[in-house]
Amino acid sequence: MGHKVHPNGFRLGVYRPWEANWFAVDKDYTKLLHEDLEMRRVILKRLHNAGIAKIETERSSNAQMTVTIHTAKPGIVIGKGGASVDQLREDLEKRFGNRVRISIQEIKQPELDAQLVAENIASQIERRISYRRAMKQSILRTMRSGAQGIRVALGGRLRGSEMARREWDREGRVPLHTLRANIEFGRATAKTTFGMIGVKVWIYKGLVKVAPRGGGEAAEIAPQPDVTAVPAPEAASAPTATAVAEAPVAVETAQAEAPAKPVAAEPKPAAEATAEPKPAAKKPATRKPKAAEPKDGGEDASS
């Protein structure tokens, strides 16, 4: 029961990088870690209405720290003429004693960022908007932006009830057990007059193509001809491209040099030979009259 894993930490090293990129020896690790945590708290407290989704830190060998702020409202972070970001950099340098370089990255689609969606729902609940309406509207906007799935969970004294409960809604599919699934997770807290209401958001954006271990896959090599193999008789007797190209020229030259010979006309086959013999017409049969037979005693009478 309750063996839940943080979706971002579960996918670290698979396709998702760390938010803090630096190395420290054992004696300095605790100090630098608390500096990072304090720096994030200071930035989020000062720019709480700037829509900050993520803060990345990177430390170089020359004691310089690079802070990358991912925000949906870069104009609020930068300020008029860059005054706000310059003041923030000076305050961080005085507080931590390091050179700080601030980089700002704009988020093009805030509806697809889980942290910003969770903060938006929490702010609506603080303004006494129905939590069901806030959930439905956020889910609809996220799905219209191109997400493949979203899940929203709320927990606390919803609608001021005496007994705290948990409500959740989902649209699409959210495969939490698939490591290749690009799932963003964000959470926020709504501070109401009845108490704290927690908001959790999972957004599924599709599968990520992960490179295999040990480098990329080897490209397929086309089959190469074997030089040691004996050529086939067809290949040996087949004319080359040069010979085929020169053949018509040689034929034309030979025809031009040869004397013209009279061409004998081929004898035409006789019509009698080719024509089939017609059957002879049958004559009507004629019946010859029979000779008169001599009567009895004819010889005696003649004598």
Q: CA-CA distances (angstroms) from residue 84 to 64, 81, 90, 91?
A: 20, 8, 10, 11
Helix-strand-coil percent breakdown of the chain, rounded to 5? 35, 20, 40
Q: What is the pLDDT of residue 166?
A: 95
Residue 254 pLDDT grade (very low, low, confident, very high; cuts 50, 70, 90) = low
Q: Which two tokens stand for residue 20?
A: 């803090």
Residue 13, Ramachandran bin (φ over 0: left; ψ between -120 and 50: alpha; else beta): left
Q: Can you give the pTM of this predicted structure?
A: 0.67
More confident residue, 58 or 245: 58
pLDDT at 273: 47
Which tops the pLDDT comparison, 199 or 282? Answer: 199
> What SS3 class is residue 195?
coil
Could you list the beta-strand ranges (E) of 119-191.
Answer: 149-156, 165-172, 181-191
Rounded (5°) CA angle 56-58-60: 170
What HEC string does 9-50 produce?
HHCECCCECCCEECCCCHHHHHHHHHHHHHHHHHHHHHCCCC
Mean pLDDT of 170-188: 93
The stretch 181-206 carries a mean pLDDT of: 94
State pLDDT tens for residues 46-91: 988 888 999 999 998 777 889 999 999 999 898 888 888 999 999 9
User: How far apart are the C-alpha atoms of 86 and 149, rounded to whole Å?
Assistant: 39
Collapsing DSSP states into helix, strand and coil, what is residue 258? coil
Amino acid 145: pLDDT: 93
pLDDT in tens, 81-132: 888 899 999 999 888 888 889 999 999 999 999 999 999 999 999 999 999 9
- What residue spans in the chain does CATH classification 3.30.300.20 cover? 7-108
Structure-token pair, residue 93: 């340098």
Mean pLDDT of 147-158: 95
Average pLDDT, the chain: 81
Residue in this structure with the two tokens 């709504």, named with its chain if needed: 190
Question: Alpha carbon of 195 to those of 162, 189, 200, 210: distances in Å?
Answer: 11, 10, 17, 43
All CATH 3.30.1140.32 domain ranges in the chain, comma separated: 111-207
Q: What number does CATH give the domain 7-108? A: 3.30.300.20
Q: How far apart are CA 221 and CA 149, in angstroms?
A: 40
Distance CA 86, CA 84 (A): 5
Highest mean pLDDT among 85-89, 198-202, 290-294: 198-202
The hierarchical CATH code for the domain 111-207 is 3.30.1140.32
Percent of the chain with pLDDT over 90: 49
Q: Which residues does 29 contact at the CB level (< 8 Å), separation at least 6?
A: none
Q: Which of 61-65, 137-141, 197-201 has the lowest mean pLDDT?
A: 61-65
Q: How far apart are CA 277 and CA 175, in angstroms?
A: 93
Is 70 exceeded by the pLDDT of residue 154? yes
Longest dimension (CA), the chain: 184
* CA 147, 149, 155, 158 torsion-angle sign: positive
